[in-house]
Chains A and B, each alone.
Chain A
Amino acid sequence: ETGVTQSPTHLIKTRGQQVTLRCSSQSGHNTVSWYQQALGQGPQFIFQYYREEENGRGNFPPRFSGLQFPNYSSELNVNALELDDSALYLCASSLVRGGAVNNEQFFGPGTRLTVL
């Protein structure tokens, strides 16, 4: 069983640029969630994708967008990067059955984004 993988591991961008982060979900999972973890903070929920549609969103501006593909992998896109976007971005996958809420989320190792 392959776990959640993310690419790239590290990334350096400058203000105003755009970035795409990628996530491959664990085998058999159909849902992907993205979290932002700033230094010294707990992860903050960005959004979740289920069946290729956004299925919940946290308090993040529209320049944070995502995609989920038919193979359940996902992308997080951030436009017009700001210095405060520097953080560890975590992807988590889970298997949602029939609307059950007690689904465990399995996290990837994250992508460290630095915005200069």
Chain B
Amino acid sequence: AQSVTQPDIHITVSEGASLELRCNYSYGATPYLFWYVQSPGQGLQLLLKYFSGDTLVQGIKGFEAEFKRSQSSFNLRKPSVHWSDAAEYFCAVVANQAGTALIFGKGTTLSVSS
């Protein structure tokens, strides 16, 4: 069965420092991968997605992610974190060929210290 693992429950990063959030997936075929962000009281906002092609994907708000098939990973990165980046981050994979369902990880809470 498809699954997504986000090993880090909570990460604290200093403002201006770089960020990497880890995501590992389990899926037999070519995965469709997503990163979403959720601020308190808000719905999920798509940061970026990977379907095929270039393994380094650029997203909104200065985020990028790299797909590594050999490691079954899709880690999210940002070179310089801003205080407004504090939020919950979710990695997700499309669960089936019909594309009807997203399977989410449990999320990583990002705190930004000054």
Contact = CB atoms under 8 A, between A and B. Distances in A.
Interface of A: 4, 33, 35, 40-45, 48, 55-56, 58, 90, 92, 96, 99-110
Interface in B1-42: 4, 32, 36, 41-42
Contact of B104 (A4, A44, A99, A103): A44
Contacts of B41: 109
Interface of B: 4, 32, 36, 41-46, 49, 51, 90, 92, 94-107
B9 to A, nearest CB: 9
Most buried by B among A33, A55, A99, A105: A105
A101 B102 CA distance: 11
A102 B51 contact: yes
